[in-house]
Chain A
Amino acid sequence: MEMRGLALSSASLVIVLSAVAAAQAPLRNKQPPGFDDFTQRVQQYMKLRKALPNERTTKRQDQIVDRRLSIADAIREARPAAKPGDIFTPECAPEFLRVIRSTLRGSRAASVRKTIRQGEPVMGVHLTVNGAYPEHLPRTTVPPTLLLRLPRLPDKLAYRIVDRDFVLQDTEARLVVDFIPGALP
Chain B
Amino acid sequence: MQRLSLLLLLLSGCRTAHLWAQDRTLPLKSGSVRFAVIGDMGTGEAPQYQVAQRMLEFHQKFPFNFAIMLGDNIYGGKTPADLKKKFEIPYKPLMDAGVQFYASLGNHDDTNERFNKFFNMNGQSYYSFKKGNVHFFALDSDYLDPKQLDWLEKELANAGTDWKICFFHHPLYSSGAFHGSSTELRTILEPLFLKYGVQVVFSGHDHVYERVKPQKGIYYFTEGASGELRYGNLKKTEITAAGYDKDRSFLAIEISGDDLSFQAVSRTGVTVDSGSFHRPGAAPPSP
Contact = CB atoms under 8 A, between A and B. Distances in A.
B146 A152 contact: yes
Contacts of B153: 26
Interface in A111-166: 111-112, 114-115, 118-120, 135-136, 138-145, 147-148, 152-153, 158
A144 B142 CA distance: 9
B141 A147 contact: no
B60 interface: no
Interface string B51-89: 000000000000000000000000011111001100000
Nearest to B186: A111
B184 A143 contact: yes
B183 A114 contact: yes
Nearest to B121: A57
A171 interface: yes
B184 A145 contact: yes
B118 interface: yes
B205 interface: yes
B110 A174 contact: yes
B123 interface: yes
Contacts of A41: none
Interface in A40-91: 55-62, 64-65, 68
A147 B184 contact: no
B150 A142 contact: no
B282 interface: no
Best-surrounded residue of A26, A119, A138, A144 (most CB of chain B within 10 A): A144
A12 interface: no
Contacts of A142: 142-143, 145
B179 A172 contact: no
A64 B118 CA distance: 13
Interface in B186-224: 187-188, 205
Best-surrounded residue of A59, A119, A120 (most CB of chain B within 10 A): A119
Interface stretch (B21-29, B101-109, B241-249): B101-109
A115 B143 CA distance: 11
Contacts of B182: 114-115, 118
27 contacts: A24-B157, A28-B146, A29-B146, A55-B112, A57-B115, A59-B118, A61-B78, A61-B80, A65-B78, A111-B183, A115-B182, A118-B182, A119-B142, A135-B77, A135-B78, A135-B79, A139-B143, A142-B145, A144-B188, A147-B143, A147-B145, A147-B146, A148-B145, A152-B145, A152-B146, A158-B143, A174-B110
